[in-house]
């Protein structure tokens, strides 16, 4: 257990698996956080700490890009919000909400963002 973290704060392996299946089914981090009784930021921290990698070192859950990452990569690609929205298959308002952190993309949209914008979400 991580130092300073209580057992009730950790996400169990079964919860990690449930999070993975639900995220692959299109649940957003906001929806997952609500279902698991945590804030979106807290859930992300727990996933990064408790559900990081499987036995082969592969991420158990896709990393959802931050709003800052989306905005920076979109600008670097020379796209405006409308152009990115068309490429990803969402509205301009949705792109705006992602970039400001008002909402988060679901896993399929996050994958599409990474395909379209390239780069590493850890940058």
Q: Which tens digits make up the pLDDT trace of 42-98?
A: 776 677 677 766 655 566 555 678 889 899 999 999 999 999 999 999 999 999 999
Compute the Cα dihedral for 36, 38, 40, 44 and give only its sign.
negative
If phi over 0 gives left and psi between -120 and 50 gives alpha, with beta otherwise, what is residue 118?
left
Name the pTM for this structure: 0.57
**70 vs 13, 22, 65, 74, 112, CA distance in Å?**
30, 23, 7, 6, 12
The CATH code that applies to domain 67-117 is 1.10.260.40
Asked which of 10-14, 99-103, 108-112 is least confident by mean pLDDT, the reply is 10-14
């Amino acid at each position: 257990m991580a130092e300073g973290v209580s057992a009730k704060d950790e996400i169990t392996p079964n919860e990690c698996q449930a999070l993975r299946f639900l995220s692959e089914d299109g649940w957003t981090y906001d929806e997952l956080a609500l279902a698991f009784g945590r804030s979106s930021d807290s859930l992300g921290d727990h996933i990064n700490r408790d559900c990081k990698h499987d036995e082969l070192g592969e991420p158990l859950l896709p990393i959802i890009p931050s709003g800052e990452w989306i905005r920076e990569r979109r600008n670097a690609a020379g796209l405006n919000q409308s152009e990115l929205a068309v490429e990803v298959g969402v509205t301009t308002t949705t792109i705006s909400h992602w970039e400001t952190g008002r909402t988060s993309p679901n896993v399929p949209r996050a994958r599409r963002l990474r395909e379209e914008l390239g780069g590493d979400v850890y940058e």
